[in-house]
Amino acid sequence: MEKNKELRIGIFVCHCGFNIGGVVDVPEVVEYAKTLPNVVCAEENLYACSSAGLNLIKECINKHSLNRVIVASCTPGTHEPLFRNTCEEAGLNKYLFEMVNIREHSSWVHMQHPKEATEKAKDLIRMAVAKASYLKPQIESELEINPSALVIGGGIAGMSVAMSLARQGFNVHLVEKEAELGGMIRRLYKLQPTERDASEVLREAVTAVKANKNIHVHMSTLVKEVEGFIGNFDVKLQEKDSNELEQINVGTMIVATGAEAFKPVGMYGYGEDENVVTQLELERLLKKGELSEPKRVVMIQCVGAREKTGRTYCSRICCMVALNNALLLKKLYPNVEVSILFRDLQTYGEYEDFYREARANFINFIRYDQDRPPKVALKPDGKLIVTVYDSYLSAEIEMDSDLVVLSTPLVQHEDGRKLSPVLKVPLGTDGFFFEAHPKLRPVDFTSEGIYVCGTAHGPKDVPESIAQAYAAASRAAIPMALRRVKAGAIKATVDKDVCVNCDACVVSCIFNAIDAEPFGLPSIIEANCKGCGVCAAECPMAAMQLAHFTDQQIVAAIEALFKPKKLVTSSGSFEPIVLCFACQWCSYGAADLAGVSRIQYPPNVRILRVPCSGRVDVLHVLKAFQNGADGVIVTGCHIGDCHYIDGNLKAKDRIDALKKSLKALDIDPERLEIGFASSSEGHRFAEMMTNFVEKIRRLGPNPLTVKGGVG
C-alpha cells in the first residue's frame, strides 16, 4: 500500500448472463462484499467485459477515488488483460487490479450446489480483498529490440519463417545443422492434398531463401550458446568440424528444428527383412522409382505410438500418410492388394476424402486391438505372413504380403533435446517443445522473444507447418517492428538488508536471472527473470520476493480464507475446506477447463493462483494449516512439462520434504498432497480434487482447529 494513502477498494461482480448468475446469488455476494475491509464500492454487472461494464468500472474508479479494483467474473486467462487496460485508461496502475474466477471455479463446477457456490464466491472475493490490500503499483521497463531474427532449422517451417520476416524488411539468420536446406521434406514424394512433388515445393522455397538479401544462411551450423533476453540475444554459432565460434546479436529467435521419424528396430521384423519398411522409406522408394511391383502390401498403423508408456501420444499424420501412400501404390500398380491395419483412423478435415477414395479403390481396412497387435513372420519361401485379430470379425486372419509398411510417429531428435537447455525453453512429456499456452499463446514460449513452429512443436503435416511458421513470424515481427517493448513487471526482488548471502536463489534460478559475485549480495537481471518465483520459495530468509506474488500477499489471502472458519454444515456434518495452490500455466488452466466442460467436483476447494507450483513456499503451506485448512494440495504442470523447466520438480521436492515434517506438528502428512495436470486435463483436475476432498473427509477436521489452536 502506498505510504499514508487510504485503501479504497472497488469490487465488481459479474452475472455473466446466466453463466454465473444462474447458480451464484450475485446480489447476496455484492452485499457481502460491501462489508469487507476497505471496500468503498461494490457493484453487480450483467456483463463486466461489455463496453457498459468497462465504463462502469472506469466511472467508479473516478467517482470513488478507487486505488484497488477487483473483478469477480470468469478466468483471468482470457479477460485479465482487458480489465487491467481498463484500469489504466482510468488512471490506475494496472497492477493494482485483482481478478476472481467465480465462473469456471464456482458456478460451472458446482451447478447442483448453488448455496455452496455462493459461499465459495464470497470466500474467493474475501481472499482477493486481502491480497489486493498489499498490492503495489509496478512499472514495466522498456527494452530496445534489435530488428533481426534467428531462425533455428532450415526445413520448410524454418524457411517459411525466414521468408516471411525477410519480406517485411528484417534481417534473418537462418541456421541449419545439415549441409542442405529442406529437412524432412527432402525425403518426401507427393504432398497432400495438392499432390505436388515435394521436390518442386522444396526447390521453390530454397531458391527464394537464397535469393533474398535479408536472409543470411548458416549451413552445417549449430547454436552453441545463448545469452541475453528479448531484443538483445547474444548467440554463438559453431560450424561442424570447426572449433571457432561466430557471434551474432538478434532481437528474436524462432525454433523450427523439425523432428525425425521413429525407427522401429526389432518391431515386426524391421531391420531383419528388407521387405519391412517404414512409410518414410516407402516414399523414398516411390520417389526414386526403385520399388518393384508388389502383389500384396500390408500397412500397420501406430507402430511405436500411442503406447501405454513412452511414446503415449498420437502422431496425427500417420493415418493420412498411409492413405496417401496406399493410393499412390494403387495408381502405380492398379492390381496391388493393399490392407491397412489400424487401431483408430485420424483423418480430420479434407483428409476424410482420402479415406472415402481409399475405400472406393478397394483398399482393405482391418481394425486391431492394442492388446492383440499384428504379428509378422517369415515363411520358408521367403514371403512375409501377417497375422492379425480382426476386432470386427472377432477372428484371427492371415495375410501373405510382399511388403510390410510400418507407420511410425515423429519424435524429437537429439539435437532438439540439446537445444532446450541452451535456449532455456521447456520440452513436454512427449519430447516436443512446449508452448506457453495452447490457445492464447500457441507459438510463444514463456521466455519472451522466443517462438516455435513446425514439427519441433509436435507432429503436423507440411501445410500446418507452413501456417504455424507464418504465425510465429507474425509474433516475432511485432516487437521487432515496434523496436521497443515493455517487459512484464512480475519480477523477483531482493531485500539486501535481510539477505545473508547464502546463494540459494542463485542456485535455484535456471534462467541465470540472479547475479552474485563471490561473497557479494545478489542482484536481479530483470530482463532474464521469467517471474516463476522459485527463488523466493527457496530463500530461507524471505529476502527474495516476487512482485505481485509476495509472501505478504499470499499469506494475507490464506489467512482471509479461514476467517471465519466453517467446520460444519447446516445439517451438522463436517465439511472440509481445502486450499489448492494452482500453477497459472497448467493446473489453473485444467481447473478452467473443468469449468468450461461443466465437470462437477466438491465445492470444498478454494483455488489460489500462483505463477508456478515452484512459488509455493513451506511458509504458505504451514500458514494454511495454522489457520485451519483441513487439507492443502499443490498442483502444477506434469513433470517434464513445466513452463519454467524445473519449477514443478522443486515444488515436488519441497512438498515431499515437508510431508515428512508434518507429524511433528501433529498434522497427518496425508493432509498435504501435490498433483499434476496439463491445461487440457479438466477431468484429471476434477478427479484430483474429488479424491483429495474425500480423503480429507475421512481424516476429519484439522487437529489444530479442533484443539483451538487457530486464532
Regarding whether 565 and 530 lie in a shared domain, the answer is: no
> Does the structure show a pLDDT above 50 at 225?
yes
Regarding whether 61 and 12 lie in a shared domain, the answer is: yes
Burial class (CB in 10 A: 0-12, 13-18, 19+), 140: middle
What pLDDT score was predicted for residue 706? Answer: 61
Q: Using omega within 30 degrees of 0 as the cis cutoff, is the peptide bond preceding 564 cis? A: yes
Average pLDDT over residues 375-392: 90
- For the record, the C-alpha cell of 143 comes out as 527494452
Q: How confident is the model at residue 573 (pLDDT cuts 50, 70, 90)?
A: confident
Please name the helix (run of DSSP H) or strand (run of DSSP E) that holds residue 386, with its range, or none: strand 384-390
Question: Starting at the edge strand that comes first in sequence, how are the strands of the sheet with 68-73 ordered?
Answer: 39-45, 9-14, 68-73, 97-101
End position of a domain, from candidates 138, 153, 188: 138
Does residue 642 lie within any of the structural domains? Answer: yes
Regarding whether 464 and 382 lie in a shared domain, the answer is: no
Amino acid at 468: Q
What pLDDT score was predicted for residue 709? Answer: 47
In tens, the pLDDT along 497-543 reads 999 999 999 999 999 899 887 778 899 988 889 999 999 999 999 99
Closest CA to 275 of 258, 254, 299: 299
What is the spatial distance between Cα 45 and Cα 56, in angstroms, rounded to a whole number? 9
What is the 3 state secondary structure string of 408-437?
A: CCEECCHHHHHHHHHHCCCECCCCCECCCE
What is the spatial distance between Cα 638 and Cα 34, in angstroms, rounded to a whole number? 40
Neighbours of 243 (CB within 10 A): 6
**141 close to 168: Cβ distance less than 8 angstroms:** no
CA 238 to chain centre: 31
What is the spatial distance between Cα 625 and Cα 614, in angstroms, rounded to a whole number? 19
CA distances to 521, 527, 534, 547 from 509, rounded to whole Å, are: 15, 13, 7, 16
Q: How confident is the model at residue 486 (pLDDT cuts 50, 70, 90)?
A: confident
Regarding whether 85 and 165 lie in a shared domain, the answer is: no
**145 close to 626: Cβ distance less than 8 angstroms:** no
Regarding whether 475 and 347 lie in a shared domain, the answer is: no
Does residue 384 lie within any of the structural domains? Answer: yes
Does residue 264 lie within any of the structural domains? Answer: no
Average pLDDT over residues 637-647: 91
In tens, the pLDDT along 327-367 reads 999 999 999 999 999 999 989 888 899 899 999 999 999 99
What is the spatial distance between Cα 247 and Cα 14, in angstroms, rounded to a whole number? 53
Does residue 465 lie within any of the structural domains? Answer: yes
Closest CA to 700 of 580, 602, 575, 579: 575
Does residue 109 lie within any of the structural domains? Answer: yes
Average pLDDT over residues 315-332: 94
- For the record, the C-alpha cell of 134 comes out as 498489499
CA 57 to chain centre: 32
How many distinct structural domains can be found in the chain? 5
User: Would you call 539 helix, strand, or coil by DSSP?
Assistant: coil
Regarding whether 355 and 247 lie in a shared domain, the answer is: no
End position of a domain, from candidates 410, 438, 459: 410
What pLDDT score was predicted for residue 4? Answer: 53
Radius of gyration of the chain, Cα coordinates, nearest whole angstrom: 29
What pLDDT score was predicted for residue 630? Answer: 96
**479 close to 230: Cβ distance less than 8 angstroms:** yes
Regarding whether 668 and 573 lie in a shared domain, the answer is: yes
- For the record, the C-alpha cell of 504 comes out as 540459494
Which CATH number fits the domain that encloses residue 276? 3.50.50.60
Phi-psi group of 136: left, alpha or beta (phi > 0 → left; psi -120 to 50 → alpha; rest → beta) = beta
Does residue 711 lie within any of the structural domains? Answer: no
Regarding whether 202 and 70 lie in a shared domain, the answer is: no
What pLDDT score was predicted for residue 383? Answer: 83
What pLDDT score was predicted for residue 572? Answer: 60
Average pLDDT over residues 580-593: 95
The residue length of the chain stands at: 711
What is the spatial distance between Cα 585 and Cα 636, in angstroms, rounded to a whole number? 8
Q: Using omega within 30 degrees of 0 as the cis cutoff, is the peptide bond preceding 193 cis? A: yes
Regarding whether 614 and 660 lie in a shared domain, the answer is: yes
Average pLDDT over residues 74-87: 95
What is the spatial distance between Cα 278 and Cα 258, in angstroms, rounded to a whole number? 18
Q: At what angle do helices 618-627 and 647-661 cross, to 10 degrees?
A: 50
Closest CA to 82 of 440, 435, 436: 440
Query: Apex CA 206: angle with CA 252 and CA 183, to 5°?
Result: 75
What pLDDT score was predicted for residue 375? Answer: 96
Average pLDDT over residues 257-265: 96
Which CATH number fits the domain that encloses residue 50? 3.40.50
Does residue 460 lie within any of the structural domains? Answer: yes
Sign of CA dihedral 617, 685, 641, 159: negative
Q: How confident is the model at residue 180 (pLDDT cuts 50, 70, 90)?
A: very high
Does residue 558 lie within any of the structural domains? Answer: yes
CA atoms lying within 13 Å on the CB side of residue 142: 4
What phi and psi, each to the nearest 5 degrees, are found at residue 578? -110, 130
Question: Structural domain of residue 637, as residue ranges?
Answer: 549-706
Give 568's strand partners. 574
> Does the structure show a pLDDT above 60 at 671?
yes
In tens, the pLDDT along 193-221 reads 888 999 999 999 999 999 999 999 999 99
What pLDDT score was predicted for residue 311? Answer: 92
* CB burial string 483-517: b at 16+ within 10 A, e below: eebebbbbbbebeeeebeeeebbbebbbbebbebe
Q: How confident is the model at residue 582 (pLDDT cuts 50, 70, 90)?
A: very high
Regarding whether 358 and 507 lie in a shared domain, the answer is: no
What pLDDT score was predicted for residue 566? Answer: 58
Average pLDDT over residues 626-631: 95
What is the spatial distance between Cα 53 and Cα 74, in angstroms, rounded to a whole number? 14
Regarding whether 553 and 533 lie in a shared domain, the answer is: no
> Does the structure show a pLDDT above 70 at 570?
no
CA distances to 6, 19, 144, 639 from 685, rounded to whole Å, are: 40, 21, 41, 15
End position of a domain, from candidates 119, 138, 157: 138
Regarding whether 154 and 37 lie in a shared domain, the answer is: no
Q: Are strands 672-676 and 384-390 parallel, antiparallel or unpaired?
A: unpaired
Which CATH number fits the domain that encloses residue 534? 3.30.70.20
> Does the structure show a pLDDT above 60 at 569?
no
Percent residues over pLDDT 90 in the chain: 84
